[in-house]
Structure formats: C-alpha cells, structure tokens
C-alpha cells in the first residue's frame, strides 16, 4: 500500500478515536496513529495549555493549534510519510477552519492561509468526517471522560461546528468521505477500512 495521510474529523463524541485504533490494527502495514493537538512531547504540552487552561482568547487559541500543527507536520508526519508509512491523524487543519472559523468566528480565508503556512502545503489524501448531532456526541463525552475546555462551549457553538464540517466537506467532495457516526463501531470501521484499501491500491 502506498503512503497515505488520512485525517479524521468531526464534532465531539463521534467515535473517531475508537475507529482509528480498530482500523490501524486491521491494516497490517506500518501505521502511525497520531492526533492534534497532542503528538510528541511538545504537542502534549500544547494540548494541556489548550484544553485545560482557563480563559484563552480566540487568537491565542488559534496560534497554539497552529504551533502544534507546524511542529507535528514537520517533525512527525512528514518523516513517517517519507518512510512509506500510513498516517492516521485524529483531527488536523479542518478542525481549525471549523472550530476557530465557524465556531469562534475568526476570518476563514485567514485561517485557510494560516493552515497552509503551518502545514507547508501538506493536504490529507482522505479525510473521514464523522458526522453526529452534537447533542448525542456531547452526551457520549460527558458519560466517558468529562468535558474539556472546548466541550464546555454552548450547544450552539457545537451546532455551528457540525454545520461547518458539512459545508467544507461539500466544497471538497474528492477528499472528504462523510460517515453517519451513529452507526455501530464495527460498521464505521468497515467503511473506513474498505475506503483506505481501495485508495491505497
């Protein structure tokens, strides 16, 4: 299978992380499972700042996500792709466009260009959008692990996020695969696995 950069996006509690682990175990080739924010030592520190600290203004929040992404792409993702591996990444640039753009109201064209800067132009080969009603997703998060700083935003914020993801998926149908995340974990894993197998031939 050729090296692929595959991202998983969607509102909170959509089941991305569980699916990534199950698909990684099934692929049978070298796979890097990673996430944003939070990969590597630098990423872990930035994740703590982003998700556990009290108040952050939207601009500070944005720059921390971008700092994490730039470091992640240059020091972790690109070397793995160059070594021929498949990279499965839980959230990436689309989360910035959607959470900071549709959610926080920052300028979307600026965010697109900031993402290009942070990724040095790296774009995923496939992006799976796990679509879910935020009321269902947030209930799952609360039951599982308790909410982080962004989970605690009001429901309207999460509804804008969901609509934002659906809108950007419509703009790039060749990259996005939209999945109904209310399906069972097995059904989701099968769909993701089959799509990757097809794409990687």
Name the site residues for ligand TMP (rule: CB under 6 A): 12, 35-37, 65, 91, 95-96, 99-100, 148, 150
CB of 95 to ligand TMP, least distance (A): 4
CB of 12 to ligand TMP, least distance (A): 6
The nearer residue to ligand TMP, 1 or 70, going by C-beta atoms, is 70
CB of 83 to ligand TMP, least distance (A): 24
Q: What CA–CA distance (Å, rounded) separates 120 from 123? A: 9
Are 44 and 53 within 8 A, CB to CB? no
Helix (H) or strand (E) holding 22: helix 16-27
The nearer residue to ligand TMP, 167 or 194, going by C-beta atoms, is 167
The nearer residue to ligand TMP, 71 or 100, going by C-beta atoms, is 100
The secondary structure of residue 73, as a DSSP letter, is I
The nearer residue to ligand TMP, 48 or 197, going by C-beta atoms, is 48
CB of 47 to ligand TMP, least distance (A): 8
DSSP of 149-185, one letter per residue? TTTTS-HHHHHHHHHHHHHHHHH-TTTEEEEETTS-H
Q: Tell which residue, 40, 46, 44, has the closest CA to residue 73.
A: 40
């Amino acid at each position: 299978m050729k090296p692929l950069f595959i991202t998983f996006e969607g509102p909170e509690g959509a089941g991305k992380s569980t699916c990534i682990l199950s698909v990684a175990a099934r692929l049978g080739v070298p796979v890097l499972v990673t996430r944003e924010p939070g990969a590597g030592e630098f990423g872990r520190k930035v994740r703590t700042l982003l998700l556990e600290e009290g108040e952050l203004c939207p601009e500070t929040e944005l720059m921390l996500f971008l700092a994490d992404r730039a470091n992640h792409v240059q020091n972790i993702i690109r070397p793995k792709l160059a070594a021929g591996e498949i990279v499965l990444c839980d959230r990436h640039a689309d989360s910035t466009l959607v959470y900071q753009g549709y959610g926080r109201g920052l300028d979307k064209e600026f965010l697109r260009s900031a993402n290009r800067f942070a990724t040095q132009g790296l774009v995923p080969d496939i992006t799976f959008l796990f679509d879910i009603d935020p009321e269902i997703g947030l209930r799952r998060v609360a039951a599982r692990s308790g909410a982080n700083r962004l989970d605690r935003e009001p429901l309207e914020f999460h509804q804008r996020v969901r609509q934002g993801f659906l809108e950007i998926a419509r703009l790039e149908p060749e990259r996005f695969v939209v999945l109904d995340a209310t399906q069972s974990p097995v059904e989701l894993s099968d769909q993701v696995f089959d799509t990757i197998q097809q794409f990687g031939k």
